[in-house]
Amino acid sequence: MQYSTEENVELLDNPPSSPDLSPNDFFTFPKIKNRLRGQRFQSPEEAVDAFKMDLLANEWNK
């Protein structure tokens, strides 16, 4: 705190915990994670592509 005061560092408060502040994808990731479970990917890019394909395929099937 002393350093912060000496260096004029502005401290910000954290927002209060609220369900209204949770990201929109809070429920999306567990569903996709379950559908991709057991698959192995050679690279992070391959995993992202599989994620995108699954997300797009399931958006149209709602």
Residue 52, pLDDT above cutoff 70: yes
Tell me, yes or no, whether 39 lies in a domain: yes
pTM more than 0.85:
no
Q: Give the residue carrying structure tokens 């954290």.
A: 14
Per-residue model confidence (pLDDT) at position 40: 92
Per-residue model confidence (pLDDT) at position 24: 62
Q: For residue range 16-47, list pLDDT tens digits in order.
A: 666 665 666 667 778 778 888 999 999 999 99
Residue 1, pLDDT above cutoff 90: no
The neighbour count for residue 35, using CB atoms within 10 Å, is: 15
Q: Please say whether the beta carbons of 38 and 57 come within 8 A.
A: no
Rounded to whole angstroms, the Cα distance separating 18 from 23 reads 11
Can you state the angle between helices 28-36 and 44-60, rounded to 10 degrees? 110
The count of domains in the chain is 1
48: containing domain: 32-62
Per-residue model confidence (pLDDT) at position 61: 56
Tell me, yes or no, whether 15 lies in a domain: no
